[in-house]
Amino acid sequence: MKATALSSARLRWITAAFAVAVTLIAALVWWDAAQRGGGRERGAVPDMNDARRIADGRLVYDAHCAACHGTNLEGQPEWKTRRADGKLPAPPHDDSGHTWHHPFDVLFAITKHGLVPPYAPAGYASDMPAFDKRLSDEDIWNALAYIRSRWSEKVRATHDELQRQVAAQRTR
């Protein structure tokens, strides 16, 4: 009887250990997928020159971004001057703004999560919402492709060089 009780206790322990191991592995797989952007390599940017992506991005931009950032990507007036509430107006996404000064993974993260650390100081007051509940990752990439398509050749070339530098740093 003692051998059966010991075997039963050992079987329960092994079963519990197995369940914990499976749960940990599942959590690691989920975390890794989240870090990679749902199957896309972390930091990997889709083809931002794809005509279909750009066309779809215009629809996303018009529906979700233009109200604040302008139908022509011009941003809000006085976008560099804080309003009475302490917030900055929405910046332009055209050549006159600073959007193109940031790599795509940063622009993607700000669009998805809003202006929160590490992309803004803790407690930073902004009207920029997080779009993670409203837009899919593909919608966000599409909107960014549309924005990029509106930049001048010179700004696109400058941003492409920034992207190359970011990619080179990741491979070191």
pLDDT tens digits along 86-103: 999 999 999 999 999 999
| CA within 13 Å, CB half, 147 | 32
Query: What does pTM read for this prediction?
Result: 0.74
- 67-83: per-residue pLDDT in tens? 999 999 999 999 999 99
Confidence at residue 169, expressed as pLDDT on a 0 to 100 scale: 87
Q: Name the stretches of the chain with pLDDT < 70.
A: 1-6, 13, 15-43
Alpha helices in the chain (DSSP H): 2-35, 51-64, 66-69, 104-113, 137-149, 153-170
Q: How far is CA 19 from CA 8, 31, 166, in A?
A: 16, 18, 40
Among residues 32, 55, 46, which one has the least CA distance to residue 108? 46
d(CA 86, CA 92): 18
Confidence at residue 5, expressed as pLDDT on a 0 to 100 scale: 57
Among residues 128, 97, 137, which one has the least CA distance to residue 110? 128
Length of the chain (residues): 172
State the sign of the Cα–Cα–Cα–Cα dihedral 94, 99, 101, 102.
Answer: negative
State the sign of the Cα–Cα–Cα–Cα dihedral 77, 53, 38, 158.
Answer: negative
Please work out, in degrees rounded to the nearest 5, the angle formed at the alpha carbon of residue 148 by the alpha carbons of 144 and 153: 170
Cβ pair 68, 90 in contact under 8 A? yes
Confidence at residue 17, expressed as pLDDT on a 0 to 100 scale: 56
